[in-house]
């Protein structure tokens, strides 16, 4: 049971960290461009594909190896994010590239999230499954809170 709890916590933290990075990228675009249209496009790029892919992600999680559907998208999301940070470090971080990265991260999240959700009931006891689900829901609610807050303008 100890290993199962650790794995559940690790996956929850991975999903939470990924959503925090996603919001940080969006706010970076907004603060850099100072445009509501850029924010709209970034939010659509970050959320729309995930919503569409997650419908199929649940089915894929039932038919294919869940472990692969958890690890592979997570690795792709991490690799794309590292490439974005490297490109931004050398000055190639234009808006188009950042939006492409948001779309790729969104598609990966649409596969990874349903796979993690379907994986937990299989490995946890009934009591642990309920606790894990509560933890996941709380983390998602808290990760959505940056969207509800606007960045504070600097007073100059």
Q: Could you read off the pLDDT of 94-136 as tens digits, one per residue?
A: 888 999 999 999 999 888 888 877 776 666 666 555 665 566 5
How many angstroms separate the Cα of 1 from the Cα of each of 43, 59, 89, 116, 124?
38, 27, 43, 17, 8
Instruction: Report the C-alpha dihedral over residues 4, 6, 8, 11, rounded to 10 degrees.
Output: -140
Q: Where are the domains of the chain?
A: 2-146
Which alpha helices (DSSP H) does 34-156 contain, by range? 36-63, 66-89, 95-123, 126-148
Residue whose tokens read 């642990």: 128
Q: Are 18 and 139 in contact (CB under 8 A)?
A: no
What is the pTM (predicted TM-score) of this model?
A: 0.72
Q: Check: CB of residue 99 under 8 Å from CB of residue 41.
A: yes
Q: How far apart are CA 153 and CA 156, in angstroms?
A: 9
Tokens of 156: 């100059």
Q: What is the pLDDT of residues 27-58, one digit of tens each?
A: 899 888 888 898 899 989 888 888 898 888 87
Q: What is the pLDDT of residues 47-90, one digit of tens each?
A: 888 889 888 887 887 788 878 888 888 899 989 999 999 998 99
The string of pLDDT tens digits covering residues 7-20 is 667 777 777 888 88
Q: What is the mean pLDDT of the chain?
A: 77
Residue 143 structure tokens: 């990760």
């Amino acid at each position: 049971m100890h290993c199962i709890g650790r794995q559940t916590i690790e996956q929850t933290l991975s999903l939470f960290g990924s959503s925090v990075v996603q919001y940080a990228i969006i706010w970076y675009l907004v603060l850099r461009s100072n445009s509501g249209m850029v924010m709209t496009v970034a939010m659509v790029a970050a959320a729309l594909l995930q919503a569409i892919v997650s419908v199929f992600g649940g089915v894929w999680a039932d038919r294919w190896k869940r472990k692969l559907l958890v690890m592979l998208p997570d690795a792709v999301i991490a690799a794309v994010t590292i490439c974005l940070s490297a490109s931004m470090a050398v000055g190639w971080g234009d808006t188009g590239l950042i939006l492409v990265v948001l779309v790729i991260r969104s598609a990966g999240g649409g596969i990874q999230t349903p796979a993690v959700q379907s994986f937990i009931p299989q490995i946890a006891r009934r009591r642990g499954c309920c606790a894990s689900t509560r933890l996941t829901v709380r983390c998602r609610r808290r990760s959505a809170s940056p969207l509800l807050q606007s960045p504070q303008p600097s007073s100059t």
